[in-house]
């Protein structure tokens, strides 16, 4: 009978010893939060998902050159004088290059911030958005260009025509400068 009560006491005492740390932490100050219902405030200089401001981007390619993992894809086309759609940068100066493609693969990005530091126009910056994980890698591929594919093709066509016209004019001038040279063919 004595052994029976002794075993009950040992079991009870073991539970009390085991619960000692639990009780200690119940009354201690909390250091964890119930994410995602609660969130720690992030510092303003946190390096999370990047954002491009197209109205500032000049298409200079410095961010592409600075990126150590080649996760930025950039394509530009020069703005030609006879483009009916002219645009100003955010600072009011006329746009010189159309950014026909500006894409970032955040599955590759290591958030080093080198592209942000390299940008002379302050067109790219880190945001505090870190909740964009996905089971589909294609969701991590962001497209920042504002031109539609059709508009981009139109800009490329205008530039090709401009270059061809420029070449023809150059050729015509060279021909005209030659004495007794045959007249260049008229433009169709
Ligand atoms: S943060 Fe670093 S890795 Fe990411 S795009 Fe910029 S330069 Fe590339
Ligand atoms: S460095 Fe800045 S301005 Fe130049 S292409 Fe990159 S984002 Fe645009």
Q: Is the pTM of this model over 0.75?
A: yes
Q: Which numbered atom of ligand 2 lies nearest the CA of 115?
A: 1
Q: Distance between CA atoms of 77 and 96, rounded to whole angstroms?
A: 9
Nearest CA to ligand 2 atom 2: 119
> Number of helices (H) and strands (E), helices first, in the chain?
4, 5
Give the pocket of ligand 1 (CB within 6 Å).
Answer: 66-67, 69, 71-72, 104, 109-115
Whether the pLDDT of residue 91 is over 90: the answer is: yes
Across 75-98, average pLDDT: 94
Picking from 74, 76, 150, 83, the residue whose alpha carbon sits closest to that of residue 115 is 74
Percentage, residues of the chain above pLDDT 70: 95
Distance 110 CA to ligand 2 centre (A): 18
Ligand 2 lined by 104 (C-beta under 6 Å): no
| Enclosing H/E stretch for 75 | strand 72-78
> CB of 63 within 8 A of CB of 99?
no
Across 17-24, average pLDDT: 89
Ligand 2 lined by 118 (C-beta under 6 Å): yes
With a CB cutoff of 8 Å and minimum separation 6, the contacts of 80 are: 158, 159, 161, 162
Q: Which numbered atom of ligand 2 lies nearest the CA of 60?
A: 4
Distance 72 CA to ligand 1 centre (A): 8
Q: Distance between CA atoms of 12 and 14, rounded to whole angstroms?
A: 5
With a CB cutoff of 8 Å and minimum separation 6, the contacts of 160 are: none
Residue 124, classed as helix, strand or coil, is strand
> CB of 71 within 8 A of CB of 108?
yes
Q: Residue 81 is encoded by which pair of tokens?
A: 């004088």
Residue 88, classed as helix, strand or coil, is strand
| Band (45; pLDDT cuts 50, 70, 90) | confident
CATH number (3.30.70.3270, 3.40.50.1220, 3.90.1860.10, 1.10.3720.10) of 50-165 reads 3.30.70.3270
Whether the pLDDT of residue 76 is over 60: the answer is: yes
Distance 187 CA to ligand 1 centre (A): 48
Tell me the C-alpha to C-alpha distance, in Å, between residue 63 and each of 89, 109, 152.
Answer: 18, 13, 21
């Amino acid at each position: 009978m004595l052994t029976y009560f002794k075993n009950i006491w040992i079991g009870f005492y073991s539970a009390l010893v085991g619960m000692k740390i639990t009780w200690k932490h119940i009354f201690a100050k909390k250091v964890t939060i119930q994410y995602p219902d609660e969130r720690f405030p992030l510092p303003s200089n946190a390096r999370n998902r990047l954002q491009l401001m197209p109205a500032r981007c000049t298409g200079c390619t410095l961010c592409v050159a600075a990126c150590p993992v080649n996760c930025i894809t950039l394509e530009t086309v020069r703005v030609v004088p006879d483009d009916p759609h002219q645009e100003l940068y955010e600072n009011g100066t006329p746009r010189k290059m159309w950014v026909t493609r500006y894409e970032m693969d955040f599955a590759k990005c290591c958030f080093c911030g080198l592209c942000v530091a390299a940008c002379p126009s302050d067109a790219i910056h880190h945001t505090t958005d870190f909740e964009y994980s996905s089971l589909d890698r294609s969701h991590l591929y962001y497209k920042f260009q504002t031109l539609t594919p059709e508009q981009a093709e139109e800009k490329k066509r205008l530039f090709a025509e401009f270059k061809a016209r420029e070449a023809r004019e150059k050729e015509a001038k060279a021909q005209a400068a030659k004495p007794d040279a045959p007249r260049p063919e008229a433009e169709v």
